[in-house]
């Protein structure tokens, strides 16, 4: 390994978003293109898939991630409750759909009626909607309540009831 690479490797590792280093939960910071893999992970764990639709210049997306979703992820509030990642509205190109087929990002998002960012979508392992999308961000308390309702509904639709975690898991940070 070159001396320069030896110096840069630790720096590159530290630059990775923490959410992308852990299995499960909501991976914040990097837009995924492989929804089939997340669908398989969700099926194995019996949890919904969360699709967080963001945009590059979306101030509310950043507020949502910094003030609520990021702290909740770090506190483990999503562990064993969902798997998911971001999908940037600006990404363009194609994604690997839940069925393993490549599809244009815009067609993938149109399926869920995405018209604004941030939008949080909860689907099953095959990409079927489990709850109405949560659109926008009007503050942490309101969003936390909407998220808890959506997550409980999605878990119930999958046949699992989340008695242990509930609201208490979301009340931290």
Question: What pLDDT is attached to residue 96?
Answer: 95
Closest CA to 50 of 163, 173, 167, 158: 158
Say whether domain 17-171 belongs to CATH 3.40.30.10.
yes
For residue 28, the model assigns a pLDDT of 75
In the prediction, which pLDDT does 29 show? 66
Instruction: For residue 3, give every residue at least 6 positions away whose Cβ sits within 8 Å of its Cβ, in sequence order, or none.
Output: none
Q: What is the pLDDT of residue 170?
A: 45
Q: 42 with 83: CB under 8 angstroms?
A: yes
Report domain extents, the chain.
17-171
The confidence score (pLDDT) of residue 159 equals 87
Strand partners, 50: 84, 122
pLDDT tens sequence for the chain (173 residues): 444 333 333 333 333 333 332 346 777 765 678 999 999 999 999 999 999 999 999 999 999 999 999 999 999 999 999 999 999 988 889 999 999 999 999 999 999 999 999 999 999 999 999 999 999 998 999 999 999 999 999 999 998 655 444 433 444 44
């Amino acid at each position: 390994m070159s001396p320069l690479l030896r110096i840069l490797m630790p720096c590159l590792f530290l630059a990775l978003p923490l959410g992308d280093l852990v299995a499960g939960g909501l991976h914040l910071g990097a837009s995924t293109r492989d929804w089939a893999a997340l669908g398989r992970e969700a099926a194995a764990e019996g949890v919904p898939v969360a699709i967080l639709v963001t945009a590059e210049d979306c101030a509310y997306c950043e507020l949502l991630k910094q003030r609520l979703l990021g702290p909740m992820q770090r506190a483990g509030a999503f562990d064993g409750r969902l798997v998911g990642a971001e999908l940037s509205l600006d990404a363009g190109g194609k994604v690997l759909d839940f069925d393993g087929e490549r599809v244009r990002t815009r067609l993938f998002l149109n399926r869920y009626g995405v018209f604004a960012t941030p939008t949080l979508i909860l689907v099953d392992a095959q990409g079927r909607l489990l709850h109405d999308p949560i659109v926008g961000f009007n503050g942490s308390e309101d969003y936390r309540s909407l998220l808890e309702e959506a997550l409980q509904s999605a878990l119930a639709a999958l046949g699992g009831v989340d008695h242990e975690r509930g609201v208490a898991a979301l009340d931290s940070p």
